[in-house]
Amino acid sequence: CLSRGLGDVYKRQVLQVLAIATHPVFLPIFSLLVYAPLVAYHGPSIKILAAIWVAFVYLILPLIFLKVVRKVDFNTPGLEGRKSIYKTYTINNAGFIAVNIFVFSEYVSFFIGFFFLHLLLWFLIFIELKASWHAAAWSFLVFAGLLILYRYQMAGLDMKVFAAFVILLLVCATRYFQKAHSLFELGMGVAVGAITSSIILFF
């Protein structure tokens, strides 16, 4: 019984680490899986500055606002907590669209798509439908990668898209076994990501 209990604790810890490591707030970093070839011509200095700026504005500031001001529990956010999260990142992505017109124009379509992803998740919460944010983000990246591959036919990009797909499966399994989402909620998340990624075709 003791060994089984320790095994359950270890399993929960592993699942929690995986959930944190694949969290949607890190998606601008994970996007380099498929976007790195598009921004390869930028010098290292602008990439370092962009990474610092993204970490501060996309990750640190929203998390401080949501945790300190809105008192959102990221482990188990209720409907109101999810409304705050999606509203914050909808506004945040709108800002990133404007800035990247002048900095990384290749990323404009990414943030337009991600803007609509959070807007759709926000709408679903208002009608009390909970879709998996994790699944939506990784589905978005997979389908965005497929669209970029279709448009540019870049060598080696197919394997990176496949890696993102494997991570999507891992994310869905992790969130299911954590009992964070039902299969329906995970499916809704995948659908949201797939639908909003299609915007990339038009930019």
Tokens (6 digits) for 75: 């482990």
Running DSSP on this structure, what letter comes out for residue 66?
Answer: I
**pLDDT tens digits for range 164-190:** 999 999 999 999 999 999 999 999 999
Predicted confidence band at 7 (pLDDT cuts at 50, 70, 90)? Answer: low
Are 139 and 190 in contact by the 8 Å Cβ rule? The answer is: yes
Cα angle at 165 between 159 and 167, to 5 degrees? 110
Tell me if residue 97 falls in helix, strand or coil: helix
Distance CA(83)–CA(105), nearest Å, equals 29
Helices (H) and strands (E) in the chain, counts: 10, 0
Are 28 and 50 in contact by the 8 Å Cβ rule? The answer is: no
pLDDT for 6 beyond 70: no
**pLDDT tens digits for range 61-79:** 999 999 999 999 887 888 8
DSSP 88-157: HHHHHHHHHHHHHTTS-GGGHHHHHHHHHHHHHHHHHHHTT----HHHHHHHHHHHHHHHHHHHH--TTH
pLDDT for 5 beyond 70: no
* pTM of the predicted structure, to 2 decimals: 0.92
Nearest to 11 by CA among 170, 168, 178, 166: 178
**pLDDT tens digits for range 125-164:** 999 899 999 999 999 999 999 999 888 887 788 899 999 9
What pLDDT is recorded for position 4? 60
